[in-house]
Chain A
Amino acid sequence: MSEGTVKKIMYVNRKAPYGTIYALESLEVVLIAAAFDQDVSLVFMDDGVYQLKKGHQTKGIEMKNFQPTYRALDDYDVNKLYVEKEALEARGLSAEDMCVPVEVLTAAEIGKLMEEQDVLLSF
């Protein structure tokens, strides 16, 4: 990465948490990449919106609850979080159910944002 070049990097999260490793892996990569001061945004589409559903309590399934990490993203200057409107609606959820402040966009609006990126990372 050449010094001084800021790239637009978007992480596209489309998987529910815990059932697969994707959500946790995405979060790990976001945190590592945050050290490079890039223009980062996170998108949550399809079942990915479940990653931000408030109130994860993972004691019963004996897995690490990684939801608090989403609240720490702001400390790493990662604060562009977009959630797909259609995905929320198909799951009986709304922006109030999210554990962090998010901007709700339609899939088409997210598609436009994707076009503006230098790099897309899919999870």
Chain B
Amino acid sequence: MLHIVNKSPQERSTLDSCLAAAQPGGAVLLIEDGVYAATRGNAAQAKLRAALAHLEIYVLAPDLEARGMAQALAEGIKPVDYAGFVDLVTQHKTCQSWL
């Protein structure tokens, strides 16, 4: 299934909740302020790197660009555009937004 996180990892604990629940083989999409978790040097990097071992992690590129963080995208996390966002939703049977 697809998990969507839209809050900054320093502001809210929704990324932690998501990663604690997400099952191997699932996908996580970071959008809005959630994209900060995908940037190099962010305190959330270690847990995201660990999650990459069993989850696909995507980030919405327009949200990264809006925040001036496109150059800081961490390795292993795949950027998608809005069409890619739709593809991810259609490819998975269910979707959970960790609001």
For A57, list chain B residues within 8 Å (CB).
65-66, 68, 70
For A18, list chain B residues within 8 Å (CB).
32-33, 63, 66-67
Interface residues of B in 51-99 (CB under 8 A from A): 61-63, 65-72, 81
A61 to B6, CA, bound (A): 14
B13: min CB distance to chain A, Å = 14
Is B39 in the interface zone, CB < 8 Å from A? yes
Is A16 in the interface zone, CB < 8 Å from B? yes
A58 to B70, CA, bound (A): 12
A23 to B13, CA, bound (A): 21
A62: nearest residue on chain B (CB-CB)? Answer: B62
Is B42 in the interface zone, CB < 8 Å from A? yes
B63: nearest residue on chain A (CB-CB)? Answer: A61
Contact (Cβ within 8 A) B68 A91 = no
Contact (Cβ within 8 A) B65 A47 = no
Contact (Cβ within 8 A) B40 A19 = no
Is B8 in the interface zone, CB < 8 Å from A? yes
Q: Is the interface of A mostly helix, strand, loop or mixed?
A: loop
Contact (Cβ within 8 A) B40 A46 = no
Is A60 in the interface zone, CB < 8 Å from B? yes
Q: Interface centre among B10, B71, B81, by most A CB within 10 Å?
A: B10
Instruction: Please tell me which one of the listed residues A17, A20, A92 contacts residue B41 in the complex, with CB atoms under 8 A apart.
Output: A92
Interface residues of B in 25-54 (CB under 8 A from A): 32-33, 36, 39-43
User: At the interface with chain B, which of A2-10, A48-56, A69-77, A100-108?
Assistant: A48-56
Contact (Cβ within 8 A) A90 B42 = yes
Chain A residues within 8 Å of B, Cβ to Cβ: 15-20, 46-47, 50, 53-61, 63, 65, 67, 90-93
- Selected A-B contacts with CB under 8 Å, 23 pairs: A16-B8, A16-B11, A17-B67, A18-B67, A19-B7, A46-B10, A46-B11, A47-B8, A47-B10, A47-B36, A50-B8, A54-B68, A55-B70, A56-B66, A58-B65, A58-B66, A60-B66, A61-B62, A65-B66, A67-B68, A90-B43, A91-B43, A92-B40
